[in-house]
Amino acid sequence: MEHFDLLVIGSGPAGQKAAIAAAKLGKHAAVVERRDMVGGVCINTGTIPSKTMREAVLYLTGMTQRELYGQSYRVKDDITVGDLSARTQHVIDREIDVIRNQLSRNKVALIPGLAKFSGPHELVVDDGTGNQRLLSADKIVIAVGTKPARPPSVDFDGRTIVDSDQILNLESVPNSMVVVGAGVIGIEYASMFAALGTKVTVVEKRASMLDFCDREIIEALQYQLRDHAVTFRFSESVRMVERHQGGTLTILESGKKIPADTVLYSAGRQGVTDGLNLEAAGLTAADRGRIDVDEHFRTSVEHIYAVGDVIGFPALAATSMEQGRRAAYHAFGEPVGISQEVEVQPIGIYTIPEVSYVGRSEDDLTAENVPFEVGVARYRELARGAILGDSYGMLKLLVHAETRKLLGVHVFGSNATELVHIGQTVMGLDGTVDYLVDAVFNYPTLAESYKVAALDAANKMRAIARVTGSSQVHELPE
């Protein structure tokens, strides 16, 4: 039986970083992963391919240039799935090579196969050819990730009725599509196919979408999606989906019938724990296959940790990486810095246009009776916005009305997921709006929006101070 200091099940972002962190501490580490899934869902069917597809869509449709060159502008008229998949496969192959090289460089063993527990410290790995390897470890990290949740009443065929993993393998760009579920994945794909010219209908059982985001930002996103012929059916549930010779028919509980070439079911995800034989390790899975952990990502069994999407919210590649590193450090008694509050972790939604935020929303602060002021910068007022042809983008700052600390940053438009990190840094360092007021940003850039929004918020607070006669005023130019 081969023995390791640390065994990681899963090679996604969380598993990679856990194994490499252990190796950097001088520990003998290994990662178990299926041959065709190195890099996990993130690289093969999730984050990387979907974001690469998005870039291909933006480039080939010429969407971002239409404000400058007219609404009829196109880079390519007849965009095929082959056009999209060529770029996607290139990036996937490159990222898999990067991961293999990183593991090899750090002397982390990559063991092919499916793992399951045979005891608290033991795993059996089936390589798919009938051969089994017995492994043991002092510490074990479960980083198996998730898979699309599939309602048993839905007959997925991978062509006309698909989940979020199968959608990358469509044979052609559909003329029409129903997206069931207005979560992050559903809305990202809805916006991509709408950009390709697909007539998209989004069905969501809740009364609105992406409720965790700023309401004003989501209203702006909905406006843009409707402008690209996306139809929203909120407070509606799907009774059944019928497959016919001419396509699909989605029948709602309200009696509405929606014909479409393709149906994408995006009904959440569930942990891939059913084949792990967790009982042999003394563990049980919670709802939707999730594994419960403490603040150190340790399960109820002291030497077994779980990280990444399999432990639930926030289920992001970025946070998963940090969870993996922290779990490995804790497992071997290595000091690790104080974890930043979840509030200071950015959220990025790769719709067209992008949405990103960090910190609190207006609704959050209002519900908690926190006094705040709002500062807004609109891309149409920035030279860089005009250069990019983005007139709808905006950045919003939420500032504590008394301490002047930055409480939230909400961005909508081009490069939102990059831009948000400036606000994240200020918040992480407990900074105030005055830093952004006094800072000098390159011109012309979108980053300049921080200074514009900061001045907007600070001048509003200055006006209040004048009315009340307060001397606590940060003098600003008009």
Same domain, 172 and 32: no
The Cα 92–Cα 88 span in angstroms is 6
Predicted confidence at residue 332, as pLDDT, reads 97
How sure is the predictor about 342, in pLDDT bands with cuts at 50, 70 and 90? low
- Residue among 396, 469, 394 nearest 433 (CA): 396
With a cut of 60, say whether residue 67 has pLDDT above it: yes
Establish whether 186 is an annotated binding residue: yes
Q: Are residues 166 and 130 in the same domain?
A: no
Output the six-digit token pair for 361.
Answer: 């929303």
**How much is the mean pLDDT over the chain?**
93
CATH number at residue 413: 3.30.390.30
- Give the contacts of 323 (CB within 8 A, at least 6 positions apart): 14, 297, 307, 308, 311
Asked, for residue 54, whether it belongs to a domain, the answer is yes
Q: Does 184 show up as a binding residue in the annotation?
A: yes
181 annotated as belonging to a binding site for a ligand: yes
Q: What is the pLDDT of residue 469?
A: 74
Check residue 196 and report its DSSP letter.
T
Q: Does 237 lie in the same domain as 138?
A: no
Whether 142 is covered by a domain: the verdict is yes
- Asked if residue 18 belongs to a known ligand binding site, the reply is no
**Residue 358 shares a structural domain with residue 317:** no
**CATH number assigned to the domain comprising residue 251:** 3.50.50.60
Mean pLDDT of 161-188: 94
Contact 41, 21 (CB under 8 A): no
Q: How far apart are CA 264 and CA 162, in angstroms?
A: 5
User: Rounded mean pLDDT of 156-173?
Assistant: 91
Residues 178 and 196 in one domain: yes
- Parallel/antiparallel/unpaired status of strands 176-180 and 199-204: parallel
Q: Are residues 249 and 279 in the same domain?
A: no
Annotated binding residue 295 = no
Is the pLDDT at 135 greater than 50? The verdict is yes
Q: What pairing do the DSSP bridges indicate for beta strands 122-126 and 394-400? A: unpaired
Closest CA to 75 of 65, 85, 88: 65
Determine if residue 317 is labeled as part of a ligand binding site. no
The response to whether 185 counts as a known ligand-binding position is yes
Q: Establish if 71 belongs to a structural domain.
A: yes
Q: Are residues 10 and 138 in the same domain?
A: yes
* 395 and 305 assigned to the same domain: no
183 in a labelled binding site: yes
352 appears as a binding residue in the annotation: no
Distance CA 449, CA 422 (A): 11
Share of the chain above pLDDT 90, in %: 81
Residue ending a domain, choose from 279, 298, 331: 331
**Domain extent for 415:** 342-467
Angle between helices 317-331 and 13-24 (to 10 degrees): 30
204 is in an annotated binding site: yes
- The set of residues, in sequence order, having a beta carbon less than 8 Å from that of 468 and lying 6+ positions away, is none
Find where tokens 């992963």 sit.
Answer: 33
Do 186 and 144 lie in one domain? The reply is: no
Does a structural domain hold residue 93?
A: yes
- Nearest Cα to 328, choosing from 11, 29, 3, 2? 29
Instruction: Give the per-residue pLDDT at 475.
Output: 47
Predicted confidence band of residue 39 (pLDDT cuts 50, 70, 90): very high
* 262 in the same domain as 119: no
CB 371 within 8 A of CB 199: no
Could you tell me if 321 and 355 lie in one domain? no
Domain count of the fold of the chain:
3
Domain boundary (267, 298, 318) is at: 267
Q: Is residue 473 part of a domain?
A: no
Domain termination site, one of 331, 353, 381: 331
| For residue 476, pLDDT beyond 50 | no
Assess contact for 318 and 298: CB atoms under 8 A. no
58-79 average pLDDT score: 76
Query: Domain check: are 176 and 243 in the same one?
Result: yes
